[in-house]
């Protein structure tokens, strides 16, 4: 496929996807990352002005007239992610996640188009195993994406926590997580627009950092920032921008600069499954070129060569990570059904308990790794996990406390306005 990108053209190899940690407020943020609402009032304008006055006082800023944006909880190369709340009549309040395009990019038409594409693609996919896109807010100085808030952690964070404890992912958990992932991907692949026209969505960046495991035991797909889809406002051209995604999860056709399809995501999901059940990385190499060469060679060691007990996964992975697309599962749903036949899937309660087990007591893990002389970086990661979990719990309490204060302030302003008006 002449004209394909060289390995040197990769723009995100080795760069953790910090945006993928956006919806996890409990623990284990990627180490490289660097409420109260007013009650009903006579005037929506009074309400909005009241909320805006909270800015600078720890309350946050208002976007879209009804979303109160609080402190930043994560960031990526083009956006910051915040804990937020949405407001409604009669004191209605809902916790959300607000992804805000960086101010310096809000005047860049290309960046804005990419952000809008992410919102439109996400909104078109409505499924239990996909984080819901709620709203897109735009004005002259701000572009924000409002999404479902999910209490949980990325699969990447959970794998790191397990590594620090010296624990592998239980087989039933691996099956449950990957089946949910595949069902979410299938929903994206088969999504249609309002007229029933297939959108042909391909995620193109399936990896542990873009898989969110919720405290409810449900796994969800997140971040359609570089997804391919029919009708995008901005078309990503590989030869200009470099292949997007994380190298070790790229399918051969992505490295060659060929068009991605649903089977491209199937391949990446297969790599995730391989790593979950074996506890090891599938592709290793001295540099990116060496890793890419192994991916293109298509020589994959089956799990049973590492652990004989993993033989049930061999046949699934033989198809999932096949070099040629035609040799893979035709769609993500078929792969999900095959994975379910590999063994007993953990229940939602089991998955939730696994997450809680890994994240509930980060301090004890920190002490353990210090005792055994583990790296300082791992120590910092665990400390940050503990701080993140405590911060989130505190933030939720603060939201409720602010709600009462903001309501009283709104009512006071409305009363003052009425008093002034009566004198005119």
Nearest residue to 338 via CA among 107, 119, 182 = 182
Per the structure block, which two tokens stand in for 385? Answer: 């996990």
Burial class (CB in 10 A: 0-12, 13-18, 19+), 57: exposed
Going by DSSP bridges, is the β-strand pair 133-138/67-75 parallel, antiparallel, or unpaired?
unpaired
Is the pLDDT reported for residue 44 higher than 50? no
Is the pLDDT reported for residue 67 higher than 60? yes
| Residue of 205, 223, 265, 381 marked active site | 205
pTM of the model: 0.72
The CA-based angle 392-68-74, given to 5 degrees, is 45
Q: Are 261 and 223 in contact (CB under 8 A)?
A: no
Express each pLDDT in 393-409 by its tens digit. Answer: 444 444 434 544 555 66
pLDDT of residue 322: 96
CA distance readout (Å), 409 to 45, 50, 62, 196: 14, 7, 16, 47
Is the pLDDT reported for residue 371 higher than 50? no
Express each pLDDT in 189-199 by its tens digit. Answer: 999 988 899 99
pLDDT of residue 394: 47
3-state secondary structure of 336: helix
Q: Mean per-residue pLDDT for 225-238?
A: 70
Is the pLDDT reported for residue 175 higher than 50? yes
205: annotated active-site residue: yes
């Amino acid at each position: 496929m002449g004209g394909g990108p060289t390995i040197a053209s990769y723009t995100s190899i080795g760069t953790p996807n910090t945006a993928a940690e956006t919806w996890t407020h409990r623990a284990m943020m990627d180490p490289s990352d660097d409420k109260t609402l007013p009650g009903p009032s006579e005037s929506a304008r009074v309400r909005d002005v009241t909320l805006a006055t909270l800015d600078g006082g720890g309350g946050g800023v208002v976007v879209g007239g009804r979303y109160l944006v609080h402190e930043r909880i994560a960031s990526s190369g083009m956006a910051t992610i915040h804990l937020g709340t949405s407001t409604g009549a009669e004191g209605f309040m809902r916790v959300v996640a607000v992804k805000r395009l960086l101010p310096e990019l809000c005047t860049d038409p290309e960046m804005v188009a990419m952000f809008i594409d992410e919102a439109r693609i996400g909104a078109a996919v409505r499924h239990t195993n996909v984080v819901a896109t709620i709203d897109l807010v735009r004005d002259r100085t701000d572009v924000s994406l409002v999404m479902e808030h999910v209490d949980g952690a990325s699969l990447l964070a959970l794998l790191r926590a397990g590594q620090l404890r010296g624990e592998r992912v239980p087989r039933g958990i691996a099956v449950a997580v990957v089946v949910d992932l595949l069902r979410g991907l299938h929903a994206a692949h088969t999504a249609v627009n309002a007229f029933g026209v297939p959108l042909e969505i391909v995620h193109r960046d399936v990896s542990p950092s873009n898989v969110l495991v919720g405290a409810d035991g449900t796994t969800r797909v997140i971040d359609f920032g570089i997804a391919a889809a029919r009708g995008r406002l901005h078309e990503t051209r590989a030869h200009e921008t470099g292949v997007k995604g994380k190298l070790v999860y790229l399918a051969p056709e992505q490295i060659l600069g060929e068009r991605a399809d649903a089977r491209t995501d199937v391949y990446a999901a297969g790599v995730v499954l391989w790593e979950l059940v074996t506890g090891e990385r599938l592709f290793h190499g001295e540099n990116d070129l060496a890793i890419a060469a192994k991916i293109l060679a298509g020589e994959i060691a089956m799990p049973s060569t590492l652990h004989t007990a993993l033989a049930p996964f061999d046949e699934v992975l033989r198809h999932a990570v096949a070099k040629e697309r035609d040799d893979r599962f035709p769609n993500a749903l078929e792969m999900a059904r095959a994975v379910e036949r590999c063994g007993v899937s953990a229940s939602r309660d089991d998955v939730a308990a696994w997450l809680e087990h890994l994240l509930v007591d980060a301090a004890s893990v920190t002490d353990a790794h210090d005792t055994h002389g583990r790296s300082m970086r791992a120590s910092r990661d665990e400390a940050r996990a503990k701080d993140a979990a405590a911060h989130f719990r505190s933030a939720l309490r603060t939201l409720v406390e602010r709600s009462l204060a903001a309501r009283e302030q709104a009512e006071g302003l409305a009363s003052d306005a009425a008093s002034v008006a009566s004198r005119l």
